[in-house]
Structures are given as structure tokens and as C-alpha cells.
Structure 1
Amino acid sequence: MLKLSARNQIEGTIDSIEKGAVNGIVTIKVGNEVIKADITNDAIEQLELEPGLKAIAIIKASSVMFATEKLANISARNQLSGKIVKVNKGAVNGHVVIENPEGFRIKGSITNDAIEQLGLAEGSDATAIIKSTEVMVGI
């Protein structure tokens, strides 16, 4: 198996693929949640992606943003809500880990200022926000 430095590798099943002129949106179902990945049609074809295939959504921690609740009117396609299970502050940046009700976790790397300003603490609710262009697909 390939080892990656990306902290978030979330396993699911491809629910749908919507192809455009050069890119497509691959929707990966993870329990009751979906993660959308905007990848090239070439990648879709090379990976032989199709609905029903097991796939992994790969997301770097630095590509994850946080909010204290789901946001309306935002262009980012992925909003995954859960409880904060870990906050680890460094000198400037920190890592925040949330776990959704089904048990999958997502980790993000944000500034300590953002952690403090949003009041992110273990046990509180949070939403991870990820643009679909920041999601890679593995099989």
C-alpha cells in the first residue's frame, strides 16, 4: 500500500461522477456524508473510476478550514461536521481533529490565532470545510 504524508485518507464508495469539458466532480459517499473531489477527466479515466467503486478521499491537513457551524452561501463543496476530539497547539500553528457521528476523523492545520478566535476546544462542535479542488482521489 502506498504511504502518503496527507493526514486525511477517508475511505468510501464512489456515488456519482459528473464529467464536464475537462474536469469532473467525483462524489464519494462515506456513511451518511459525501465528499466531492474536482479532478481531471484524464484522472477519472486513468483510475477507471465508476459508481460503486471503493475509493479514498485524500486531503492535506493544510487544506482544511474550520468553522463553528455549517455555513450557508459558501463556494466550498465539502462541509463535514462533528465534535473536536483533539487540539494540539504548536509555536504558531496547531492541529485540530474532529470526529463525525459515524466515527471518521478529519485533521486540519490552522493558526493558533484561529483556534483561539473560534474557541475551538475538545468536546465542542466544529465543521471542517474543504474545497473540492483540494481533494485527491485514490483507489
Structure 2
Amino acid sequence: MKISARNQLAGTVSAVKEGAVNGVVTIKVGDETIKSDITMEAIKDLGLAEGKEAIAIIKASNVLVAAGSERIGSISARNQFPGTIVKVAKGAVNGHVSIEITDGAKITASITNEAIDDLGLAEGAAAVAIVKATDVLVAVN
């Protein structure tokens, strides 16, 4: 599978919570879990069930970044991944910040250069990648 989304995290489905229209799929990637809120139709079409291998896909533009190593307690986003910044690449207006979160897995965010500067984001610094469950796509091979 080739797609333009930078973040493709392979793991194993650890839970599926079914709802009337949507469900929440939890994928274990290393020591972290990623939650995806997708339709029940997609869950059934993909055959998602506990133990199935799956890939969480997240566009870099859907990743928020917080400086520091602490998860934010009062926020609606279900996915928060503390880690270490391994790369900062600035462009003319926006830049990419890559955060290593677990077992070598990385999440890249596309954010403004102004945000990179204001948050003091630099290689080696602690940061938290934040992603809403509705921004996580799920793929299977």
C-alpha cells in the first residue's frame, strides 16, 4: 500500500467497541495504544477483531504537538503520545516535527514554523503528539 499520509503505524487490534453507527478500534503499537473512531461498516468490511494486524494511518496535518513530556489531562483527544523529538525540518511557512514515541515508532506533525518557535521544539526535546480518534484511519493487508 502506498499513500501520502506520513504516519503509518503497524500494530495489532487489542479491542473493538461496537456502537450503532460507529465503533472505536484500539490498536496496540509497541507500548502505546491508538484509538480510531470509524464506522461499523468499515470495521466489518476490514474484518477488525482482537488479534488482527492493522495499520493506524494519520495525516501529519492532523497531529497536534505539545511541548514537554506530560499527557494533557483535560482534552478530548483520545490519543496522546509522549516522546522525544528526533527531527525538525522547517519550510517557508510550515515545518515537520518527528517525535519518536515507542519502540522506534515515529509520528510526524506538520505545523507552522511560528508554532515550532513558540513551543521551543528542537531535536532531543520532549514533546507529546496529540491526535483525535476521528483522525485515525485503519488499514489491513
TM range (shorter): over 0.9
> 2:10 — aligned with what?
11
Question: In 2, Cα distance between the equivalents of 1:33 and 1:70?
Answer: 13
Paired letter, 1:76: A
Partner secondary structure for residue 21 of structure 1: coil
Q: TM-score, normalised by structure 1?
A: 0.97
Stretch of structure 1 that moved more, 93-102 or 34-43: 93-102
Q: What is the deviation of 1:101?
A: 4.1
Paired letter, 2:52: L
> 1:52 — aligned with what?
51
1:2-81 → structure 2 map (5 Å cutoff): 2-68=1-67, 69-81=70-82
Once superposed, which parts of structure 1, at least 4 consecutive aligned residues long, lie more than 6 Å away? none
Stretch of structure 1 that moved more, 95-104 or 19-28: 95-104
Question: In 2, Cα distance between the equivalents of 1:72 and 1:50?
Answer: 29
Question: In 2, Cα distance between the equivalents of 1:120 and 1:98?
Answer: 10
Identity across matched positions, percent: 60
Paired letter, 2:5: A
Question: Does residue 121 of structure 1 match 2:122?
Answer: yes
> 2:91 — aligned with what?
90
Partner secondary structure for residue 114 of structure 1: helix
Question: In 1, Cα distance between the equivalents of 2:133 and 2:74?
Answer: 15
Q: What is the deviation of 1:81?
A: 1.0
Deviations, residues 62-107 of structure 1 (Å, cap 9, x unaligned): 0000001321110000001110000000111000001124210110
Unaligned 5+ runs, structure 1: none
Partner secondary structure for residue 103 of structure 2: coil
Give the number of equivalent residue pairs: 138
Unaligned 5+ runs, structure 2: none
- RMSD, aligned α-carbons: 0.7
Q: What is the deviation of 1:32?
A: 1.2
> 1:112 — aligned with what?
113
Q: 1:117 to 1:71 in 2, by over 3 A?
A: same
Q: TM-score, normalised by structure 2?
A: 0.96
